Amino acid sequence: METLLRAQDISYGPKRRPRLEDIDLELQPGERLGLLGVNGAGKSTLMQVLAGVLAPTRGEVFVLGQPLRLAPPLLRRHIGFLPQRVPAYPELSVTENLNWAGRLRGLQRQALKTAIDDALQQVQLGSVAARLAGSLSAGMAQRLGLAQAVLHHPDILILDEPTAGLDPLQTQQIRELLRQLSTERSLILSTHLLEDVQLLCSSVILLDSGRKTAQHAVTSETDLLAHFRHRADTDGMGAGA
Amino acid sequence: MIWEIALHEWRRLRAGMMFWLLLAFGQLIIAWLAFAQLESFAKIAPQLKAGGSTLGATDLVVMPSFNSLTLLLLLGIPLLAMGSLAGEIRSGRIAVWLSSPVGSGQIALGKTLGLWLASLPLVLSVSITLAALGMGIALDWPRLALTVAGVLLFSLWLCGLSLCISGLFDHPAAALAASYGILLFLWLLDSLSGPEAAWYWLALLPHTQPWLQGLLRSQDIAFFLSTGIGAVWLASYTLARRRGEI
């Protein structure tokens, strides 16, 4: 089976203080990969590099074997990206925002209309389709962002902290939605919540200060907290010394 | 795709307050100025006729109003354009633009055309208002048409330049300040140096005034086209650099 996405020796930022350093990762069809790290670990930067928003200062991202930076822009159709801040125009309605996202990804007329209807149904925003995006609650706005990301049926879904800033009920709803969306496509999800990884991911990469420190398969026995405890202990010893 | 982006930009601007404020304020100012000019013209028209002057309503009412419109566009288009790229960067929506399968050149050109579409209602409404004077007064129609064409080209040029400047900043207010600074510099450039200076070609007034006097000069068209295309190319370049295509 062909690797969907491969990042090879990715570094980003100035040489003296890189925000990412020598990161390798692979995403296989059907895989749900989590990127876990504390705030400032480099998760969002890595997500933007993987989505083609930022170009790595060293290394290369390959999508279906082709380098994302040099391949024709059409290669980007395989990626659906939800940045940390929902990329919606507050002055436009939910439908108009989806219309923009769909057209930007090459959907036209009937295909676009069908895709918008499907996406609205999938994220349960049909009842607020005519409302301005600026008037949506945080949970609804996040669902709008998800609808924008999956509108063109991408093979790879890259989601940057989709549960950040949500209340417990909204978090649960978004997790349920993500579980549904990831049945049809591969997923890369960045988060600082262990629960997101335990519930949604099949494997996880741990990031620390822009470096990949470990990679695990996620099972019910995986104790991710142990990794952070170990790190905190190591830091504490370093500070004590 | 360029047209799709232009329509999106036009919809986005139309949904905001700034577009309607500019349109209402612009029409009010131009109408007030035009009526003031018309009143003065009505007072001196008998003397002009008696003295055998060739000056008419086109010279004394229509052209000064178009001159005011040019100034208004100079102030208004950077206000519309400040968020076109800087606003996208600041809000984080730039991530969707850059991760989309659309070329950087298409984004820059589409957004420029969208801004131009948003400037058209003001240009056309003022042009129609001034042309309506023709129902009661004799107007120089070819000159009027030439001036409208000139103002349309000027507004397109302004859109390209303002978008380019917007792409260089992460904050719309910074983009607006830089746009006004650069445009003011170009506006005053001819008074800072004589025609023999190398940079005189960049001065704005020597390229806009001939239109208002009924002169269509290829050098003016070449100026607006070359610098406008250059500005859109630079906007496209900055987007491509962010993406790492260059």
* Candidates B12, B96, B242; nearest CB to A87: B96
Per-residue pLDDT at A194 exceeds 90: no
- Count CB neighbours of B47 within 10 A: 9
Q: Which domain holds residue B112?
A: 2-243
Phi, psi of A189 (to 5 degrees): -125, 125
Checking if the pLDDT of A17 tops 80, the result is: yes
Q: Give the one of A51, A73, A85 whose C-beta lies nearest to B102's C-beta.
A: A73
CA distance A64 to chain B (A): 15
Does the distance separating the beta carbons of A89 and B95 come in below 8 Å?
no
pLDDT of residue A223: 65
Name the residue with tokens 């995986």: A222
With a CB cutoff of 8 Å and minimum separation 6, the contacts of A25 are A5, A6, A7, A33, A205, A212, A215
Q: Considering chain B, what is the average pLDDT of its residues? A: 88
Across A165-187, average pLDDT = 82
Residue A93: DSSP 8-state: B
Decide if A139 is inside a domain: no
Interface of B to A at Cβ within 8 Å reads 1, 4-5, 8, 11-12, 15-16, 91-103, 242-245
Asked whether the beta carbons of residue B101 and residue A76 sit closer than 8 angstroms, the reply is: yes
Containing structural domain, residue A64: 5-87+156-240
Q: What is the pLDDT of residues B44-54, one digit of tens each?
A: 878 877 777 77
Burial pattern B200-239, b for ≥16 Cβ within 10 A else e, equals eeebbebbbebbbeeeeeeebeebbeebbeebbebbbbbb
Q: Is residue A146 one of the residues assigned to a domain?
A: no
| CA pair distance A233, B112, nearest whole angstrom | 55
The reported pLDDT for the residue numbered A240 is: 41
pLDDT for residue B58: 81
Instruction: Give the residue from B82, B66, B105 showing the smallest Cα distance to B209.
Output: B66
Residues of chain B with C-beta less than 8 angstroms from the C-beta of A92: 11-12, 15
Please check whether residue A104 lies inside any domain of the structure.
no
Residues of A near B (Cβ–Cβ under 8 Å) read 48, 51-56, 69-70, 72-77, 79, 81, 83-85, 87-89, 91-92, 96, 100-101, 103-106, 148
Closest Cα in chain B to A93: B15
Backbone angle region of B102, left / alpha / beta, with phi > 0 → left and psi within -120 to 50 → alpha: beta
Residue A57 lies in a domain: yes
pLDDT band at A230 (very low <50, low <70, confident <90, very high): low
CATH number (domain holding residue A23): 3.40.50.300
C-alpha span between A69 and B246 (Å, rounded): 9
State residue A99's pLDDT score. Answer: 92
Q: Give the residue, B117 or A107, on which the prediction is more confident.
A: B117
Query: What is the domain count for chain A?
Result: 1
User: Of A84-93, B56-65, B72-81, which gets the smallest average pLDDT?
Assistant: B56-65
Mean pLDDT of the residues in chain A = 84
Angle between helices B205-212 and B141-166 in degrees, nearest 10: 160
CB contacts of B108 in chain A (<8 Å) are: none
Percentage of residues in chain B having pLDDT higher than 90: 45
Q: Nearest-CA residue of chain A relative to B11?
A: A92
pLDDT for res A229? 64
Question: Is A91 in contact with B103 (Cβ distance < 8 A)?
Answer: no
C-alpha distances (whole Å) from A235 to each of A70, A207, A230, A241, B219 are: 40, 15, 9, 10, 68
3-state secondary structure of B98: helix
Question: How far from B123 is each of A74, B3, B70, B77, B79, CA to CA, in Å?
Answer: 37, 21, 9, 11, 16
**Average pLDDT of the segment spanning B68-88:** 92
Residue A14: per-residue pLDDT = 84
* Span A18-36, pLDDT tens digits: 888 888 999 988 888 998 8
Q: Is residue A103 part of a domain?
A: no
Phi and psi (nearest 5°) for B200? -60, -30
Contact A73 B12 (CB under 8 A): no
At residue A222, does pLDDT exceed 80? no
CA distance A25 to chain B (A): 19
How far is A124 from chain B, CA to nearest CA, in Å? 22
pLDDT at A108: 85
Highest mean pLDDT among A74-78, B110-114, B132-136, B196-200: B110-114
ipTM of the complex: 0.79
Which tokens hold the place of B126?
Answer: 């003022």
Check the CA dihedral A210-A211-A214-A218 and report its sign. Answer: positive
Q: Residue type for A111, please?
A: A
Tell me which residue of B150, B71, B83 sits closest to B114, measured CA to CA.
B83
Distance CA B176, CA B169 (A): 9
CB contact under 8 A, B93 and A79: no
Say yes or no for a CB contact (<8 Å) between A84 and B94.
no
Provide mean pLDDT across the span B177-203.
84
Q: Tell me phi and psi for residue B113, to 5 degrees.
A: -65, -35
Listed in sequence order, the DSSP H helices in B138-171 are 141-166
State yes or no: pLDDT of A238 exceeds 60: no
- Rounded Cα distance, A175 and A152, in Å: 21
Measured from the Cβ of residue A118, the count of other Cβ atoms closer than 10 Å reads 14
Confidence of residue B217 (pLDDT cuts 50, 70, 90): confident
Query: Is B91 within 8 Å of A87 when comparing Cβ atoms?
Result: yes
Total domain count for chain B?
Answer: 1
The answer to the question of residue A13 being in a domain is: yes
Q: Tell me if A85 and B91 make a contact (CB, 8 A cut-off).
A: yes
Q: Per-residue pLDDT for A53 more than 90?
A: no
More confident of the two residues B159 and B142: B159
> What's the whole-number mean pLDDT along residues A172-178?
83
- Specify the pLDDT at position A241: 38
Gap from B164 CA to chain A (nearest CA, Å): 19
Residue A204, beta-bridge partner list = A34, A216
Q: Is residue A132 part of a domain?
A: no
pLDDT in the model for residue A239: 45
Between CA B35 and CA A49 the distance in angstroms is: 58
pLDDT at A176: 84
Helix ranges, chain A (H) = 43-51, 94-104, 109-122, 138-150, 168-181, 194-200, 224-240
Residue A74: which of B12, B98, B101 has the nearest Cβ?
Answer: B101
- Is A133 a member of any domain? no
Residue B51 is predicted with a pLDDT of 77
Q: What is the pLDDT of residues A58-107, one digit of tens each?
A: 898 998 888 887 777 778 888 899 988 888 999 999 999 999 999 888 88
Using the CB atoms, write b or e for B162-183: b if 16+ within 10 Å: bbbbbbebeebebbbebbbeeb
